[in-house]
Structure 1
Amino acid sequence: MQTMVHITSLTPIIRDYRGAIKTCQKAFNNVNNEPTERGATSGAFQGNQAGPAGTERSAYRIFNDWATETLKKLLVLKQKGELGKAVDSQASFDEWHRGLVASLAEYWSAHAHPAYPLSRKQLYKLVNLFVKWLRIKVEDDVRAHIEKHGHTTLNTPTVRRAGELLGDSTLTPPADDKDFDNWYHDTQKRIRDFTETHGGSPVIVDVWCRAASLGDPDEDA
């Protein structure tokens, strides 16, 4: 349940976000405006390759192949009328999301060079980009569940903007990859708590953050 707040007590950046919610919701629900093959641009793989120079399967190809296989499985659930139940509450969505994270981690380990692991930061980013891309493949009710229960893609440009929104200039992913999962879930909760007060959802925060990016919003510094 969202809390009402006096507009005069808000910072300029929060007022900007609140004023852009409807525009961001419209952009998310525009299923005819998706330029990527499976949710991620080639810029999403900056600094996280699948192997040394000359490796046959690039990081971009491995991700797209995983996404294609995953989509086939999800379409079977859709045909059975079971996909909606997998994402119709925050708890069920988060469980489904954890399964996607584990699936991509396993697929990457099986197909990338063993000396080129996928960082947890990249792993979560790619899953969230894929989940957001799914909006063009699902029915309206499932799209609405993704909009409501989905996560913010916490890559460099988005984290910087989200930190401004939360009033936290120190918001940054941990240096140690082993600490990323806890930081990720804590930050998702902070963003969801923010939207409970100010409207929208973490996915809408994601759309708003990415709209402000001057470069490729999928890239990481």
Structure 2
Amino acid sequence: MATSYFEFFGENMPIDEGIANAYEAFVPEGEQWLASYPDATYGGVDNFQGVSTGMAKGTKAAHELWIFRLIKQFCNGVWDFNELNSFDGFEKFHAAQVKSYKEYWVSEYQKTLSHHTALRLVDLSIKWFRRTNDERVRALDSTGLAAAVRKYGHTVLNEPGQGLLKLLFIDEPRYRETGTTEEIEASYQAMQARIREFCALYGGSPLVVDVFARARHVR
């Protein structure tokens, strides 16, 4: 296994050079896919197998109702699209959606989601806004929402994403799915920061890393 090193927060961090080079070559294809391939789901998630929400049934419908409410917020101008088109603004938006998603399940269904589950489903939901078949969302193209999502959206830390990162970032701490909310959040933010630093050197964005991870997983 070939390795290379890059400066990450002042340290030499080993990465798998073969995977990094394959990703770099994939970036144009990944960016094209994000910009043009329509997502046939409603809200970025179709198969909820393995998603623990505490509901025996109705999880998909519950998720889609939350998406419907978020679309209404976008259409009604609740969110400042100029602010979303910046890293800090997008991060604030992301944090607000994770909080909203967890509160939604408690208020509507009296179910408490793990922080990992909320992060995973919110990241898939936000990714959906990069390009969808929904006419209302396409009407928002002029706001720059889709472009902001493609630029600032996070890598989904599901099985494909974590599988890739485990191989790419050699001998580094893995993202932890369990623990306190604070522990999971700190681990999540550290991993997303690693991904952004990697993209600064090899191109693309965290969502391109996400597409690359899925492409490797399904082949």
Quickly name the TM-score band, shorter chain normalised.
0.7 to 0.9
Q: Report the Cα distance in structure 2 between the residues aligned to 1:28 and 1:145, rounded to whole angstroms.
A: 12
Equivalence for 1:64: 64
- Structure 1 distance, partners of 2:175, 2:90, is 25
Q: CA deviation at 1:47?
A: 4.3
1:25 paired residue among 15, 28, 31: 31
Could you tell me how far 1:177 is from its partner in structure 2? 4.0
Bigger RCO (CA 8 Å, 6+ sep): 1
- Cα deviations by residue, 1:99-130 (Å, 9 ceiling, x for unpaired): 1111111101112244xx21111101111111
CA–CA distance in 2 between the matches of 1:101 and 1:213?
26
Residue identity opposite 2:26 in structure 1: A
What's the CA shift for 1:17?
A: 0.3
Q: Deviations over 1:147-188 (max 9, x none)?
A: 111111111221111222223475242431431111011111
2:88 corresponds to which letter in structure 1?
Answer: A
**Cα distance per residue 1:52-107 (max 9 Å; x no partner):** x4x6xx222211111111111111228xxx64213111100000111111111110
RMSD over aligned CA atoms reads 2.4
Letter in structure 2 aligned against 1:90:
F
Corresponding position: 1:134 with 2:129: yes
TM superposition score normalised by structure 2:
0.81
Whichever residue aligns with residue 166 of structure 1, its letter is F
State how 1:26-41 maps to structure 2 within 5 Å. Answer: 26-31=32-37, 33-41=38-46
Please tell me whether residue 12 in structure 1 is matched to residue 18 in structure 2: yes
Match of 2:12 in 1: none
Aligned 1:138-149 pairs, distance under 5 A:
138-139=140-141, 141-149=144-152
**1:185 equivalent in structure 2:** 189
* Superposition map of 1:20-99 within 5 A: 20-31=26-37, 33-43=38-48, 45-51=49-55, 53=56, 58-77=58-77, 83-99=80-96
Alignment partners' CA distance in 2, 1:103 and 1:113: 14
The structure richer in strand per residue is 2
What's the CA shift for 1:143? 1.8
Question: Is 1:211 paired with 2:215?
Answer: yes
Gap runs ≥5 in structure 2 = 1-5, 7-14, 132-136
> Partner of 1:69: helix, strand, or coil?
helix
Corresponding position: 1:165 with 2:174: no
Alignment length (residue pairs): 197
Distance 1:213 1:86, change over 3 A: same
2:153 maps to: 150
**2:188 counterpart letter in structure 1:** Y
Secondary structure of the structure 1 residue equivalent to 2:218: coil
Q: 2-side partners of 1:25 and 1:184: how far apart?
A: 23
How far is 1:134 from its partner? 1.0
TM-score, normalization by structure 1: 0.80
1-side partners of 2:51 and 2:70: how far apart?
A: 24
Q: For the residues of structure 2 that align with 1:174 and 1:42, how far apart are their CA atoms?
A: 20
Look up the SS of the partner of 1:135 in the other structure. coil
Using the aligned pairs only, state the percent identity.
24
Contact 1:29 1:135 survives alignment (8 Å): yes
User: Cα distance 1:176–1:135, how it changes in 2: closer, same or farther (>3 A)?
Assistant: same
Look up the equivalent residue of 1:119 and give its one-letter code: S
